Every structure is written in C-alpha cells, then in structure tokens.
Structure 1
Amino acid sequence: MRHTEKHRTERIGWLRAAVLGANDGIVSTASLVLGVAAAGADAKGVLVAGVAGLVAGAASMAAGEYVSVSSQADTENADLERERRELAADPAHEKAELSAIYVGRGLDKSVASEVATQLMAHDALGAHARDELGISASLGARPLQAALTSAATFSVGAVLPLLVVLVVPASLLFWSVAGSALLFLALLGTLSAWAGGAPLIVAAARVSFWGALAMALTAGVGSLFGVSA
C-alpha cells in the first residue's frame, strides 16, 4: 500500500534551524540597533552596527550549527558502528534485544520475535538504528543543511530591522524598530507553528515575549552607557 500521509516530523531538522536562525536574526539585530540607538549614536552609526551584526551573526550561526550538529552526527555514527559490530558478533542476542523492545511496546512475544526476525532479515542495522537507537532518515543529523538554513534565515531576519532603520526618520527609529521587530517575531512564531502543526497564538506569544525581553535588556544597557558618557 502506498503511504500518502505527510507527517510534520519530517520537517523538524530544517524547521528548527530555520526558526532559530530567523528568530536570532530579528532579535539580535533589533536589540543591537536599539542598544546603539539608546546610547546616543546617530542613524549612520546605528545602521553600521546593524550591518556588522548581520554579517557576524550569520557567520556565527552557520559555524555554530555546523559544529553542534556535526557533533550529533558523530555520536550517531559511533552508535551505528557499535551496533554494526554487535550484530556481526552476536546476532541472536541482538534479535532478542529487538524482540524485547517490541514486547515492551505491546506485541505478543511470538509476534515480536517474528517481527524482529523479518526486519533483521531485511535490514538489521536499520531496524536497530530506528527502534533501539531512535535514529531515522527524517530525524538524523544534517550539519550542512542546518548551517546553511540557519545562516540564510538569520540574514533574512536581520535584514528586517535594518530596512526599518533605512526608511524611518531618526526621531522615530527607536520605537519603530522595537514595534516592527515584535510584529516580525509574532509573524515568525505564527508561521513556524503553522508549519509544525502547533497552536498559533501560543507560539507567537512565546517568541514575542522573549524577543521583547532581549530588546528591553539591550536597550537598557545602551541607555546606561549613553547616560554615563
């Protein structure tokens, strides 16, 4: 039978990286812009700081995602290699281990044993990777995908506050950036929730709250230094 259902868990890898990148792009750039503006910098200084933050942030996101997800991939590969050796050394024990997993999930012992036998005959390592280790094709680590997705979405997110800096008068810059950033974050939360099948309002509120907190803290620090200067 052809499998026609589309499950959202298949999107987890790129969706997580995309949301993380876009959220960081909006929050970090808007916070940086607000902090510099609160310190008393002119519009040109604010824009330069924002562009520098975009470049540095995108590079940092790409490097960080690649390194962290590569570490995950290394761990998965090490576990798979260990499982491969165990299958070669003692297949009977591995079959019993797989059968016990299926019994724990509710199958009768005889049925579990037959399922384990057939799955191992088809793809022993794949069966153990999926059911013992929790590693599957849709959820496996993809370092390059995560790095490129995060860098690209960070850049897109970071550009949004910078566009506001370019188009609004200097006198309205602070509140325009803050307000538009919250709007962008709410839209991002809604879009990510829609793509993942989660409640829209909860996701939008969560993203907006933490973004507002980050911007408020950064603006406060900028204001403190501006006053002391």
Structure 2
Amino acid sequence: MSTDLTAAAPDGALRTGEHADEPHKSGTSARLNWLRAAVLGANDGIVSVAGIVVGVAAATTSRGPIVTAGVAGLVAGAVSMALGEYVSVSTQRDSERALLDTERRELLEQPEAELDELTEIYRGKGLSFETARRVAEELTAHDAFAAHAEAELGIDPDELTNPWHAALSSAVSFTLGALLPLLAIVLPGPAFRVPITFAAVVLALAATGALGARLGGAEPVKATARVALGGALAMAFTYAVGHLVGISV
C-alpha cells in the first residue's frame, strides 16, 4: 500500500504543480481576451464612423457637415461602447461575487462536504481517489477558498474584471479606430475623399481582421476577407443612401 501511495505522490505533486500554474495561464488568457476585445472595438470604430462620413460625403462636398457627423459618430460610439462594456462587466462581476460569497459561506458551514466535493472534481479529471484526495487536502490546506473558486467556479478571486478598466479600454479602442476614417475623409480634396477613405478603411479592416484571427487561432485569410468585405459593403450601402438623400433634399 505504501508503494502505491509513493507512486501516487509524484502524480499528485504534478497535478498540484499544474494547478499552481493555472493562474498564470488564466492571466495570459485574460490578456489575450482583452487584446481581442480591443481589436474588435477598433474595428467597430472604423466601420461605424466610416459609414457615417462616407454617407455624408455622398450627400455633400462641404467639409463642415462631414467633420460634424464624423466627430458626433466618434463621440457617440465611444460613449455607447464604454457604457455597454461597463454595464456588461459590472453584471458579470456582481454574479461572480455572489458565487464567491456562496462558496465562502459553504466552506465555513460544511468544510468536510466541500473537501469531498473538491476530491470528486479531481477524480472527474482522471485522478485516482487517493491522489485526488491528497491534492484536495493540500490545496485546501494552502488556500481552501481559492482552490474551490478555481476548481468549481473557474474564477480567480484576485483577478475579477474591473468594469471601469473595461469601459475605458473599449472607449479608447473605438476612438482610435474611428480616427482613421475621420482623418481619411477630411484631409484629401473633395474629389479624392471617398476613394481614399474607402481604400484606407478596407486596408485597416484587413489588418484588424488578420490580427483578430491570429489572436483567436482562426484561419487568417477567411477572417481577413470577411471583415474587409463587410466593411466595404457597409460603406457602399451608406454611400448609396447618402447619395439618394442628398438628391432628394
């Protein structure tokens, strides 16, 4: 029996070591998620403001209305993105806190049942009962709350998402993306505004599409083509609508 336990110990130690590494992996994954969110926010800014300024440029050659519409779209979009992200992340954070409070209460009221539950979680991952029990006991002795939060809920209590950070990141990424079509439509002369903006936006969207695909591990060619084509169609549609409105007015 002692031989079995000795053989199980390295496996248990390995599993415990892997558990200790998970916060690092989780942190890396969280950073990648934030980066993907920033790319998507910039993409939204590019498409949204490009559609607005191209549509207005189709209706008038005057720079004033184009700038006004573009800036208004940038500000409204950034505020909307920030508010939406703040509400979404705040709701998620409240839910995570409620789950963590419940777990903390259960650890105080029924520690043995929680130890059994943690053991069964690791048994479900393929460990023998002896190894799973040893892992559960060692993790419980080290930090029972963190162990249960990670294993049962998939939450790191020390890395809850900050809604203010999420809102700021979303607003900044949208603004940076929106500046590209705004500058592209304003700086050239009237005859070149739409073609230059169209080309700049398609190239920018291709870049964000390729980057987003790379971060997500998706096929870059398909993702790049999909994003670039979608942006081109959006601009073509808003240009047509702006042209029709300009004629009718």
> Does the 8 Å CA contact 2:146/2:157 hold for their aligned counterparts?
no
1:32-82 deviations in whole A, cap 9, x for unaligned? Answer: 111222333523211211011111211222121111111111111111001
Residue 74 of structure 1 is matched in structure 2 by 94
Range with greater deviation from structure 2 (32-41 or 175-184):
32-41
Give 1:164 deviation, angstroms. Answer: 0.8
Identity of aligned residues (%): 51
Count of aligned pairs: 227
Range with greater deviation from structure 2 (72-81 or 17-26):
17-26
> Does the 8 Å CA contact 1:25/1:156 hold for their aligned counterparts?
yes
Kindly indicate whether structure 1 or structure 2 has the higher relative contact order, using CA contacts under 8 Å at least 6 residues apart: 1
> Does the 8 Å CA contact 1:17/1:146 hold for their aligned counterparts?
no
1:161-200 counterparts in 2 under 5 A? Answer: 161-195=181-215, 198-200=218-220
> How far apart, in 1, do the equivalents of 2:178 and 2:158 lie?
29
Residue 82 of structure 2 is matched in structure 1 by 62
1:183-219 deviations in whole A, cap 9, x for unaligned? Answer: 1111122234445555433432333233234333433
Give 1:169 deviation, angstroms. Answer: 1.6
> How far apart, in 2, do the equivalents of 1:97 and 1:210 lie?
49
> Does the 8 Å CA contact 1:9/1:138 hold for their aligned counterparts?
no
Give 1:176 deviation, angstroms. Answer: 2.0
> Does the 8 Å CA contact 2:51/2:234 hold for their aligned counterparts?
yes
TM-score (norm 1): 0.87
In structure 2, the gaps of 5 or more residues are: 1-16
Larger Rg: 2
> How far apart, in 1, do the equivalents of 2:222 and 2:157 lie?
30
Range with greater deviation from structure 2 (150-159 or 13-22):
13-22
Matched, 1:42 2:44: no
In structure 1, the gaps of 5 or more residues are: none
